[in-house]
Amino acid sequence: MNREEIKEILPHREPMLLLDEVVINENGEAVGKYTIRGDEFFLQGHFPGNPIVPGVIQCEMIAQTAVALLPDCKGKTPMYTGLNNVKFKNPLLPGKTAVMTVSLTARKGIFCFAKGKLEADGKLCTSAEFSFAIVPKQA
């Protein structure tokens, strides 16, 4: 999926759309990519002279990647319900391409459970288990 195809399923828009592309690999995992340009809003104060992508943004990138596994999300809103066992190993810096790999571990009605990781240059930056609900858009 390219950015426009992602927008057909994921309700996020700029500046919070944090995916450039997503594919489903041979293991049934979603693999997303996003290149950190350096001008993103979240780098402006984190940290001056030493920009590093905040951990919470990295978790958001991982979660957005999961939507490729859920085509029934179209027209609905995926909302975080839990974030567990989050680990930050290496910083994610401007100029790097974040590669997120996500798999669903369970689904119960509107609730989805997943695990994922974010790597850059082959180094693990972030790993997490998370859950979210797919809910109708609120007026």
Q: Residues 33, 46, 76, 107: which is the catalytic one?
A: 46
Residues 50-65: tens digit of each pLDDT: 999 999 999 999 999 9
Residues 6+ positions from 101 with CB-CB distance below 8 Å: 25, 29, 30, 31, 65, 116, 117, 119
pLDDT at 117: 98
Residue percentage of the chain with pLDDT more than 70: 99
pLDDT of residue 139: 65
pTM, full prediction: 0.95
pLDDT tens digits for range 2-39: 999 999 999 999 999 999 999 999 999 999 999 999 99
Write the CB contacts of 5 (distance below 8 Å, at least 6 apart in sequence). Answer: none
State the Cα torsion 25-18-116-47 to the nearest 10°.
Answer: 140
Q: What angle do CA 61, 75, 135 make, to 5 degrees?
A: 75
Q: How confident is the model at residue 99 (pLDDT cuts 50, 70, 90)?
A: very high
Query: Is 3-136 a CATH 3.10.129.10 domain?
Result: yes
- For CA atoms 39, 31, 92, 64, the dihedral sign is positive
Amino acid identity of 136? P
- pLDDT, mean over the chain: 95
Catalytic residue at 12? no
What does the pLDDT average to over 97-112? 97
| Of 41, 38, 88, 82, nearest in space to 63 by CA | 82
Within 13 Å and on the Cβ side, how many CA atoms surround 18? 25
